[in-house]
Amino acid sequence: MGGSVVYFEGTDNQLWAINADGSDQHNLGNNTTASMPFADDGVVYFRGTDDQLWAINADGTDQRNLGGNSTASTPFAHDGVVYFQGTDNQLWAINANGSGQHNLGGNSTASTPFAHNGVVYFQGTDNQLWAINADGSNQHNLGNNTTASMPFAADGVVYFRGTDDQLWAINADGTDQRNLGGNSTASTPFAHDGVVYFQGTDNQLWAIDANGTDQHNLGGNTTKSAPFAADGVVYFQGMDDKLWAINADGSGQRNLGGNTTLATPFATA
């Protein structure tokens, strides 16, 4: 399959894969999923409806319950390591080959962790915004902040929904915190190619440049969860539960494959 592939939880809880051009839709491995899937290096990781942490090759081969684990939210993979919130709320890290599992820094987490440039960011069960190096060193509460969902990092900046529902941006070194565009958000923001996409507390699908300029309601749309962007396309769950795709410039909106979804879709680059 060429180009981007979009993975999503259908309203039937099936784990679906579809090319970004709408071709070759299939139920990957005949699986069901309970949240957004995540793909990295040709492997799709997902939380089954049995809460097991599953890994399956993108071609549908070699499905395995990674490390025999269960998970309470979407897993996240980065640099050959899978990070996840266990059903015990522990912050777990395991190599993609199933070896080396450990409770990172002895921490617990309330949502999916996010890893970027060797640092893992997560919402603690105390709602603190924590950062810790992937080797377990240098844990710190980033900017003394709290967060209400998974943080997101791109280009040296961490974006997060505060417990005040404000859309916050802070440099990864803890400097220059700002309420981006004076906005509030209802879920995790997502940054791609210098633009931040987010679900407003008004459920509008907003786009704003990372420097705080050129805010606009993308395509006049509303969304039910966090949007996701890849290869110049933004994918989102509409308030009608339809799986929508729209070009980042606002053109070419389409209901991808005529599908519906229960959560944020995920697209490979």
Burial (CB count within 10 angstroms: exposed 0-12, middle 13-18, buried 19+), residue 22 = middle
- Mean pLDDT computed over 156-175: 98
pLDDT of residue 72: 98
* pLDDT over 70, % of the chain: 99
Dist CA 150 CA 111 (whole Å)? 6
Dist CA 258 CA 140 (whole Å)? 44
Q: DSSP class of residue 116?
A: E
Cα torsion through 105, 111, 115, 119, rounded to 10:
-40
- Mean pLDDT computed over 39-58: 98
Domain that holds residue 225: 5-267
CA gyration radius for the chain?
A: 17
> How does pLDDT run across 195-206, given as a tens digit for each residue?
999 999 999 999
The tokens describing 20, both together, are: 């970004």
Nearest to 37 by CA among 81, 5, 79: 5
Please, what is the Cα angle at 28 between 26 and 32, to 5 degrees? 110
pLDDT of residue 92: 99
Q: Give the chain's mean pLDDT.
A: 97
Residue 193 neighbours by CB under 8 Å, 6+ apart: 229, 232, 248
Is it the case that residue 1 has pLDDT exceeding 70? no
- Mean pLDDT computed over 193-218: 98
Regarding pTM above 0.85, the answer is yes
Question: Over the range 172-190, which residues count as b (16 or more CB within 10 Å of their CB) and which as e?
Answer: beeeeeeebbebbbbbbbb
Question: H or E element: which one contains 16?
Answer: strand 14-19
Is it the case that residue 34 has pLDDT exceeding 70? yes
Instruction: Determine how many CB atoms are found less than 10 A away from the CB of residue 118.
Output: 10
Is it the case that residue 2 has pLDDT exceeding 70? no
Dist CA 57 CA 55 (whole Å)? 7
pLDDT of residue 94: 98
Question: Are β-strands 38-40 and 26-32 bridged in parallel, bridged antiparallel, or unpaired?
Answer: unpaired
Is it the case that residue 100 has pLDDT exceeding 60? yes
Is it the case that residue 164 has pLDDT exceeding 50? yes
pLDDT of residue 66: 98
Q: Report the CATH number at residue 93.
A: 2.130.10.10
The partner residues of 229 in beta bridges, in order of sequence, read 234
pLDDT of residue 3: 81
Report H helices in 79-126. Answer: none
Number of domains comprising the chain = 1
